[in-house]
């Protein structure tokens, strides 16, 4: 059995096991092969419908493969751009976090020095 979809995106499949032929079987194994792009087309059927020879079918296969490769290239470029933007955002946040930690350490160090100086002066130890 073959299913064909002209639109891309998520597709859901529902399988039901009709085990009336073997009621004692509890498990059923299903092998599912999914082909997409140029691999999913039935070129023999297309050649029969449109009266194409082997050369025309080969050209169609190559054209579909090139189209598939271009789509994959565009998808990879788009996802790479998204990951780059995310990486730059995380990098910027990490830099500001480090700068904030340094400022807090400097402020707390200065406050501790002043507090200890005032404490020792008040106790007349210095």
pLDDT tens, 80-117?
A: 999 999 999 999 999 999 999 999 999 999 999 999 99
- What does DSSP assign to residue 97? H
> Residue 41, Cβ neighbours under 10 Å: how many?
15
Q: Count Cα atoms within 13 angstroms, Cβ side, for 56.
A: 10
User: Of the candidates 8, 4, 31, 28, which has an alpha carbon nearest to the alpha carbon of residue 18?
Assistant: 28
CA–CA separation, 77 and 22 (whole Å): 51
Cβ neighbors of 117 (< 8 A, separation 6 or more) are 126
Q: What angle do CA 41, 47, 50 make, to 5 degrees?
A: 115
Per-residue pLDDT at 122 exceeds 80: yes
Tens of pLDDT, residue by residue over 5-61, are 777 788 888 877 666 666 677 777 778 887 776 677 777 877 888 888 888 888 888
What pTM was estimated for this model as a whole?
0.55
Using alpha carbons only, give the angle 85, 90, 92 rounded to the nearest 5 degrees.
95
Contacts by 96-101, CB closer than 8 A, 24 or more apart: none
> Helix H segments across 38-53?
43-50
């Amino acid at each position: 059995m073959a299913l064909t979809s002209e639109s891309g995106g998520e597709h859901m499949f529902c399988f039901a096991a009709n085990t009336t032929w073997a009621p004692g079987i509890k498990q059923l194994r299903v092998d599912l092969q999914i082909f997409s792009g140029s691999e999913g087309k039935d070129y023999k059927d297309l050649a029969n419908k449109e009266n194409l020879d082997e050369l025309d079918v080969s050209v169609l296969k190559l054209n579909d493969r090139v189209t598939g490769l271009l789509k994959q290239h565009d998808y990879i470029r788009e996802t790479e751009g998204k990951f780059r933007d995310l990486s730059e955002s995380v990098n910027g946040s990490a830099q500001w976090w480090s700068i904030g930690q340094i400022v807090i350490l400097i402020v707390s160090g200065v406050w501790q020095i002043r507090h200890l100086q005032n404490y020792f002066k008040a106790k007349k130890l210095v």
